[in-house]
Structure 1
């Protein structure tokens, strides 16, 4: 049976799982969770994820939640298929792991706040963005991307010279931000801008975005 992803096609975390499966050329089933109706906070979904957050994932008798745990499993389980998103050399993988941690702890918290303020806040609760919060977080994001600019002067991608999970994990929030004024924070840094343009154009990511159009 094909793996199943329980989530919402507009959820950044769910999109992260979709993108990984597409990169690995793994067929999968999407089980839509209606977040507006609160399905992610009710049974049967909370039996998959007790924290009531999407996505959840099922592959045979394995059940997972937390998108980065799902992407890591898929990358290793389907070794030899599609794009090798991880290394099997311990030193190379240590570098990828480092930048995966950077994304999770430095990039994503700020980027997610900007996605909320500039896109989701009005969509879900009908409120306008807090301009002070946007400005503050754009400044913080710029400081993170300054570090990325230096890193990308040394390798094509964050984890080395090949596209890995360290890059892929950025895609969902980055996609949303490119439709806002925060795009300029990326554009202002030439190497970051080129990197973003490169990874956002990957066929697997285009397939992930197509799922939103089908919804």
Structure 2
């Protein structure tokens, strides 16, 4: 009997949803993308809150299992399906895993806060008719520049963040970096740094991420 596909809830335009989508595609795991119409408040409905208690996206279901944090979902998928798709996505020994984990933590703690602020202010606020906060933009641009100098040094020593192979350590950066480069006027934060730019060109050219971008540009599927 075939295993039913996992369900990923939320719009692909969401950075967190797109992170999960890139992972399931890398791991060659069958999935169903379920749209959540946030404009209509579907993310606050009682049924949705049963699987995503914070009323945000993504939500994820694997038969009777529910998860709601994108990086945790990616770890789960990679561990459960270690022999499928990209087998080294989450490392194959303790040292590889530790290296991947430290760069995942760096993404969550150091890269994500300033890059998310910039993506919201520069890419989403204008669409939502929200006034941009120039002070916040400047502050986070300076923070991100300092963070990316660390990455510039690291990527001068290593092809990818955790070593010579593409892993979750790199995948987790794709959503925010994609918007910075393609939907804001601050893409030079990435493209002006030789090693970071080389790395970005490699990771954003992967078939898994190209598929995610296709999903972002497609009409939404049926709502939950």
Give the aligned partner of residue 83 of structure 1. Answer: 86
Structure 1 position 131, deviation (Å): 2.6
Please tell me whether residue 134 in structure 1 is matched to residue 137 in structure 2: yes
Please tell me whether residue 111 in structure 1 is matched to residue 96 in structure 2: no
CA distance in 1, matches of 2:169, 2:41: 31
Choose the corresponding residue for 1:182, options 174, 186, 189: 186
Structure 1 position 211, deviation (Å): 0.8
Runs of 4+ aligned structure 1 residues displaced above 3 Å come to none
* 1:170-194 CA distance string (max 9 Å, x none): 1111111112121111122100011
CA distance in 1, matches of 2:21, 2:36: 14
Matches within 5 A, 1:3-42: 3-42=6-45
Structure 1 position 105, deviation (Å): 0.4
The unaligned stretches of length 5 or more in structure 2 are 220-224
Structure 1 position 79, deviation (Å): 1.1
Choose the corresponding residue for 1:68, options 71, 80, 83: 71
* 1:44-84 CA distance string (max 9 Å, x none): 11110111110111111211110011100111111121113
CA distance in 2, matches of 1:155, 1:73: 26
Give the aligned partner of residue 222 of structure 2. Answer: none
CA distance in 1, matches of 2:105, 2:44: 28
The unaligned stretches of length 5 or more in structure 1 are none
TM-score scaled by structure 2?
0.92
Structure 1 position 130, deviation (Å): 2.4
Give the aligned partner of residue 197 of structure 2. Answer: 193
CA RMSD between the two structures: 1.1
